């Protein structure tokens, strides 16, 4: 089955620690995206990548980093510089200039 897999579903980390969220897709999609969802704020774009070894900052990139070494994978690292990291993180992918993006199931990150 083709799809986007995010892992883990729930993640707990201590304040000050970096943490990496995994996103893998086997849809052969070119573009991949990371969004963050907070209550009442919809989905905000963190980073996106249109092609391997290239990525661009979204609207709220501060405190995050990404890599795109393989077409299938787009991991997101939440660094200690991110002031309010507790949120629901969503990864998405899209084929070329297709209209819709497909989303993974999300990772709920809680920093304590």
Give φ, ψ of 69 to 5 degrees: -85, -25
Q: Which is nearer to other proteins, 63 or 102 (CB)?
A: 102
d(CA 105, CA 90): 7
- Give, as ranges, the residues between 44 and 83 that touch other proteins (CB under 8 A): 44-45, 48, 50, 58
From 13-21, 27-35, 63-71, 73-81, span contacting other proteins (CB under 8 A)? 27-35
Q: Are β-strands 10-13 and 107-111 bridged in parallel, bridged antiparallel, or unpaired?
A: parallel
Distances (CA, A) of 48 to 1, 87, 100: 24, 18, 15
d(CA 89, CA 73): 15
From 13-21, 29-37, 69-77, 78-86, span contacting other proteins (CB under 8 A)? 29-37
Q: State the residues that interact with other proteins by CB under 8 A.
A: 4, 6, 9, 31, 33, 35, 40-45, 48, 50, 58, 88, 90, 92, 94, 97, 99-106, 108
């Amino acid at each position: 089955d083709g799809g986007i897999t995010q892992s883990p579903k729930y993640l707990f980390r201590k304040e000050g620690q970096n943490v990496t969220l995994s996103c893998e897709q086997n849809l052969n999609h070119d573009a991949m995206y990371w969004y963050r969802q907070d209550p009442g704020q919809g989905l905000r774009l963190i980073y996106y990548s249109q092609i391997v070894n290239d990525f661009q900052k979204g609207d709220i990139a501060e405190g995050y980093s990404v890599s795109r070494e393989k077409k299938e994978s787009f991991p997101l690292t939440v660094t200690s510089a991110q002031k309010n990291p507790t949120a629901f993180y969503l990864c998405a992918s899209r084929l070329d200039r297709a209209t819709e993006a497909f989303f993974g199931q999300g990772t709920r990150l809680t920093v304590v």
